[in-house]
Amino acid sequence: MFLTLVVIAAFCVTNALANFTSYEGYKIYEFKAENTTQQETLEILAQNDAYDFFTRPRIFGLPIRVLVAPADQLQFQQTLEAAKIAYTIVNENFGQSVEVERKLNSMYPKQRNAAPGSISFDVYQRYDVIAAYMEELAKRYSSRVKVTSIGDSYEGRQLHAITITNGDGAANKNVILMDAGIHAREWIAPAAALYVIQQLVENYKQNSRLLTSYDWIIVPLLNPDGYEYSHTHERLWRKTRKPVTIICAGTDGNRNFDIHWGKVGASHTACADTFRGQTAFSEPETQALRDLMHSLTGRAKFYLTLHSYGNYLLYPWGYTSALPKNWRDIDDIARAGAAAIKTATGTEYTVGSSTNVLYAAAGGSDDYALGKAQIPISITMELPSAGQQFDPPLSKIEELASETWIGIKAMAENVIEKYKSAIERKKPRKLRFKNVGDTQTCIYS
């Protein structure tokens, strides 16, 4: 009987996967740019929409990975060889990897090994499970947790934001604002955001100091339409799902913010993965985040957006190689996160401005947070891949999420120390005595 059920389940999963986009025969190439000439060749290749650059660092010696369709592989290899760029093929058949991942993620119970009222990190959770988990937290911890909708996606899904406090009822605390999942295919990012939520709510006692003078507001899945589509139709779908033309849908949400919109690193071609949108803020998802940012003006001190992949902690500007006036403050915070992760796990993160470390791309949420919403610390965190690009193995989800939390926690602690809240500034000073020579002096501290 058990064997029969397994066969039926496998048959159902196979049929459910029939509509998935096939990446059969696609290869993933890895190489490094070792000099300026090679870097220029790669910049030219990156402008070709036929090649999907997973990573494109501008720092010599850092690994670059590109997904190439079977029909384009010969020409791609010849171009690399002509530029004397040594390469390796790290995945001979990306389509096979995607099929295995989808089947496993579909067959395993969504809440396996999860305590009642909690969430499992054994699989990549879908939108409905994520929404239900947040609502359950709001019921169980009503004095400390509130879930609101900041808007609706194009397809009508609520964009949930969870506000986490220490329950003291104090108004106008400083805020740490975080989001994930603006790029649909980066499944590990929402998983990491859920882990942060779990730590702040379910493990409150261990992390209560992070909520003493700051509230946390987290949007764990900013692009639910694209995220669901990447689960059901096209694994590497990146954009939103709002139609643009008869044959093209979706906008790259992280090119859609109104700060030097479309200036560089964003495509005007509707079918391109990096399509900037027909106008700035053309997408209801980016409008919702924009409005949330502005509602927190003066309170929000730290904006963190989670992406994958690449082990990077990046900050503005994305539209120019110039740095913001307070770049040293942001850099200090980012490096605190990188150092904490390296100390704990040995994983190394590269820190720097987006343009100088990766590539120029205008219209990003981190640029907008700093430049328009006046959030002083704005950082993009590109999570590791565990060797599997946008789809770390299911067995690695919790490990990567836990590692990410170590870095986020360290950055948050530094922000909290740097930007004291009004509550802390108004705390009554304690009277104490200090020995000065042979006398005692009364001082406040």
**Statement to judge: residues 90 and 172 lie in one domain:** no
Banded model confidence at residue 429, pLDDT cuts 50, 70, 90: very low
Whether 91 and 191 share a structural domain: no
Domain count, the chain: 2
Per-residue pLDDT reduced to its tens digit, 44-81: 898 888 898 887 777 888 888 899 999 999 999 999 99
Average pLDDT, the chain: 88
Tell whether 194 is covered by a domain: yes
What tens digit of pLDDT does each residue of 171-224 get? 889 999 999 999 999 999 999 999 999 999 999 999 999 999 999 999 999 999
Domain hosting residue 57, numbered range: 21-103
From residue 422, alpha-carbon distances to 52, 409, 414, 419 in Å are: 47, 21, 17, 9
68, 103, 138: which is the final residue of a domain? Answer: 103
320 and 209 in a single domain? The answer is yes
Residue 388 scores a pLDDT above 70:
no
pLDDT value of position 415: 97
Span 231-241, pLDDT tens digits: 999 999 999 99
pLDDT in tens, 103-146: 877 766 565 666 667 899 999 999 999 999 999 999 999 999 99
Give me the mean pLDDT over the 148-163 stretch. 98
Q: Beta partners for 64?
A: 31
Which one, of 337, 358, 357, 356, lies nearest residue 348 by Cα? 337
Q: Which position has the token pair 């948050």?
A: 412
pLDDT for res 9: 39
Q: Buried b / exposed e across 323-339, counting CB within 10 Å, b at 16+? A: bbeebebbbebbbbbbe
Q: Do residues 206 and 277 both lie within one domain?
A: yes
Whether 349 is covered by a domain: the verdict is: yes
Q: Taking a C-beta distance cutoff of 8 angstroms, is the pair 283, 257 a contact? A: no
Which residues are designated catalytic?
382
Same domain, 291 and 153: yes
Would you say residue 11 lies in a domain? no
In a domain, 181, yes or no: yes
E strand residue ranges, 311-420: 312-315, 350-353, 377-383
Residue 435 falls inside a structural domain: no
Which among 35, 34, 70, 29 has a CA at the least distance from the CA of 53?
Answer: 29
Same domain, 172 and 285: yes
Task: Confirm whether 292 is domain-assigned.
Answer: yes
Same-domain check for residues 289 and 215 = yes
Look at 421 and 155; give whichever has higher pLDDT.
155
**Of 34, 69, 103, at which residue does a domain stop?**
103
pLDDT over 80 at 382, yes or no = yes
Say which CATH number the domain at 54 has. Answer: 3.30.70.340
Q: What CATH code is carried by the domain that includes residue 391?
A: 3.40.630.10
334 and 419 housed in the same domain? yes
**383 within domain boundaries:** yes
79 and 46 assigned to the same domain = yes
**Residues linked to residue 274 through DSSP beta bridges, in sequence order:** none
| pLDDT recorded at residue 425 | 56
Whether 312 and 350 have beta carbons less than 8 Å apart is answered as yes
From 78, 103, 128, the end of a domain falls on 103
Q: Is the dihedral of CA 38, 331, 292, 129 positive or negative?
A: positive
Q: pLDDT band at residue 422, thresholds of 50, 70 and 90?
A: low
Any domain includes 119: yes
Residue 71 and residue 133 share a domain: no
| Domain match, 269 and 139 both | yes
392-406: per-residue pLDDT in tens?
A: 888 899 999 999 999
**Rg, C-alpha atoms of the chain:** 23
Structural contact between residues 415 and 176, judged by C-beta atoms closer than 8 angstroms:
yes
Q: Is 110 exposed, middle or buried (0-12, 13-18, 19+ CB in 10 A)?
A: middle
Q: Indicate if 249 and 143 belong to the same structural domain.
A: yes
